[in-house]
Structure 1
């Protein structure tokens, strides 16, 4: 059973994966083990959700968690029943993002931002900047140091941005910008941030996590 969602004019979609050992953060398993990698996925998602809740104190924005793995009950048990969940569905990342954007704009959203949960530097301030930028440009991108992006924001459905992209490669951002230029889209780049995907990235998360623990 899918939950109903009241989509506001500004809408945020969070892409994440249920933290099942052996099926998440697989590139970190050699360093952390299957349970350790799953725990990292758990912590990073919870941190991202906390930043979304901070954002919602500042601006009016609806949110939805699009998940892979697990099921609705497992997601609610993990992150709480007060969030709205929907499975990402089949297909590559581009198709899954296109689907979520289409659903959001069909639901009368006017500004839609998609984020993942791999980027500890993504905080409520940067999310606020992203939504502010959607008022003046067609496309907002959060460049990741590895050549991908940690955030994409649109004020209309532009499916071409998600077709013929080499997902998971260092070319994702470059290819997306090329398509944007071909379509004559105006775009804005947010600060460049680092994803946590490989063992050498772990200190980035450690620093954020220690700060978070100290603040509690």
Structure 2
């Protein structure tokens, strides 16, 4: 049966502090340690702005790691009025599940290396959760950039081959095993490699020239 939440979903963003040598390390060959950290900070700012525009800052929490009091996080909290929280220890699945379960009702988790996720995409995901128990934004590389749920679903996050092209395939298998319907409103791509960063820079130039 369709699930009808009474309130808008809460969106949880996961972000590392932009520390040189520890953030977006696969961009270091083209940007250097400082440049890769700055690129990461740019993506975090972009994703937080998108989230707040789509759902309202009162529905956004930024989950931090590496350095919880980093100036970037303080800046974003001051500017947007978002909540900050320290990420759970453990693998990706443990951190995502902990964030999803930290608020009442429907909630969604998104990475901050996904600037291809737009305001419209987030709103479509929010609307989709009114009718299905799970929403996912698949990534071009076989993973996903966002997942939303109403209830705790441990098997969606345990023993998943995180960081591989099998993530979405295995997640779909788990959904089928649980008998859960899911919506996949759009496809996104994240920024891991130098060519991904260049792709986003080109997309920004195109958007600014229109």
TM-score (norm 2): 0.89
Q: Could you tell me how far 1:78 is from its partner in structure 2?
A: 3.4
Q: Could you tell me how far 1:159 is from its partner in structure 2?
A: 1.5
Q: Is contact 1:120-1:208 (8 Å) kept?
A: no
Match of 1:72 in 2: 69
Secondary structure of the structure 1 residue equivalent to 2:145: strand
Match of 2:46 in 1: 47
178-187 or 69-78, which deviates more? 69-78
Distance 2:77 2:93 in 1: 27
With over 3 angstroms needed to count, the CA separation of the structure-2 counterparts of 1:121 and 1:76, relative to structure 1, is closer
Match of 1:204 in 2: 199
Q: Is contact 2:58-2:82 (8 Å) kept?
A: no
Match of 1:97 in 2: 96
Match of 1:15 in 2: 14
| Structure 2 unaligned spans of 5+ | 1-6
Distance 1:125 1:65 in 2: 20
Q: Deviations over 1:161-194 (max 9, x none)?
A: 0011011111111111100000000011121121
Match of 2:34 in 1: 35
Q: Could you tell me how far 1:93 is from its partner in structure 2?
A: 0.5
Distance 1:197 1:76 in 2: 21
With over 3 angstroms needed to count, the CA separation of the structure-2 counterparts of 1:43 and 1:147, relative to structure 1, is same
Distance 1:137 1:69 in 2: 35
| Structure 1 unaligned spans of 5+ | 1-7
Q: Is contact 1:120-1:204 (8 Å) kept?
A: no
- 1:143 aligns to 2:171 (yes or no): no
Q: Could you tell me how far 1:207 is from its partner in structure 2?
A: 2.5
Q: Is contact 2:10-2:108 (8 Å) kept?
A: yes
- 1:159 aligns to 2:159 (yes or no): no
Q: How many residues align?
A: 202
With over 3 angstroms needed to count, the CA separation of the structure-2 counterparts of 1:117 and 1:187, relative to structure 1, is same
Q: Is contact 2:14-2:112 (8 Å) kept?
A: yes
79-88 or 13-22, which deviates more? 79-88
Q: Could you tell me how far 1:73 is from its partner in structure 2?
A: 5.4
- In the TM superposition, 1:108-123 aligns within 5 A as 108=104, 110-123=105-118
TM-score (norm 1): 0.87
With over 3 angstroms needed to count, the CA separation of the structure-2 counterparts of 1:84 and 1:134, relative to structure 1, is same
- RMSD of aligned C-alpha atoms? 1.9
With over 3 angstroms needed to count, the CA separation of the structure-2 counterparts of 1:76 and 1:30, relative to structure 1, is closer
